[in-house]
Structure 1
């Protein structure tokens, strides 16, 4: 299997304050380091998550379908895009982290879902325009205080 990326968003069922986000990031980074995964996690003050994962296809898919979707701390987990990719966009991070406001997340979701698609039918891959928006977002936002190496 080859390099694969997967992008999803979800809504937390409980508030994620700084200690909860810190614990989540420590857990995710340790898992990702062990399994050679990279990615980015965005969190909004209204407790929505937007995450991209990169790595070997079987590892990414197993993590998403067996652990992330089944996690009782969130719901409305929606796959936005998934598929093979030529290279990692977030190779330097086991799990990068940024706080996004609702308008920024809405813009990213709008870019992820072309108007002609109904519901959240997954794309065959993460669209290049969306990856560019994510990379631009990261470039223009400082590291969050929770963002450890």
Structure 2
């Protein structure tokens, strides 16, 4: 399999509360299960998203470039890193979800530009950012939506 990682960030366009997040996770997990995609979504109360998608290159790139980018619920989508990978980082989850504080994302993403949006510009090389995300996710509660085959293992690494 041509295992591929894509890491992106975005900002919600308007209110994005618990019900909206639950619906997004439900739909996303079903889609990801059907297409062999795993990963994690980091979300903040102020509507920031940071997500790792991993799976077959065609499926991951289609999801991001044709589905996520056309989703009108968020804006300022920015790819922070993408490329082939030797193994999945979040193999057990079709879409794990880790809540974060805005300061957590600032710490993960490093220097933040003065554009008022708090979105970083390619903060770290993909392997380093992925390692930082793995460590961050491991430090807190992750909601995995148990029930999908990819979600059956509680470990992050294959």
Q: TM-score range by the shorter chain?
A: 0.7 to 0.9
- Check the 8 A contact 1:12/1:48 in 2, yes or no: yes
What CA distance in whole angstroms lies between the structure 1 residues aligned with 2:24 and 2:126?
27
In 1: Cα distance, 2:66 partner to 2:129 partner: 25
Residue aligning to 1:148: 145
Q: TM-score, normalised by structure 2?
A: 0.81
The CA distance in 2 between the partners of 1:142 and 1:61, in whole Å, is: 28
Equivalent residue, structure 2, for 1:115: none
Q: Does 1:132 pair with 2:134? A: no
- Contact persistence 2:40–2:53 (CA under 8 A): yes
Q: Distance in 2 between matches of 1:9 and 1:39?
A: 14
Corresponding residue pairs, total: 138
Distance (Å, rounded) in 2 between the aligned partners of 1:136 and 1:99: 14
Which position in structure 2 is the counterpart of 1:120? 121
Q: Is the CA contact 2:12–2:48 (under 8 Å) kept in the aligned structure 1?
A: yes
Taking the aligned partners of 2:142 and 2:56, their CA distance within structure 1 comes to: 26
Name stretches of at least 5 consecutive residues in structure 1 with no aligned partner: 112-118
Tell me the SS of whatever aligns to 1:19.
Answer: helix
Q: Distance in 2 between matches of 1:121 and 1:143?
A: 25
Q: For the Cα contact (< 8 Å) 1:79–1:120, is it kept in 2?
A: no
Listed as ranges, the matches of 1:57-68 within 5 Å are 57-68=57-68
Matched, 1:72 2:94: no
Cα RMSD for the two superposed structures: 1.9
Partner of 1:114: none
Structure-1 separation of matches of 2:81 and 2:128: 12
Q: Quick check: 1:11–1:49 contact (8 Å CA) kept in 2?
A: yes
Instruction: Give the ranges of 4+ consecutive aligned residues of structure 1 lying more than 6 Å apart after TM superposition.
Output: none
* 2:33/2:94 contact within 8 Å kept: yes
2: CA distance between counterparts of 1:41 and 1:127? Answer: 16
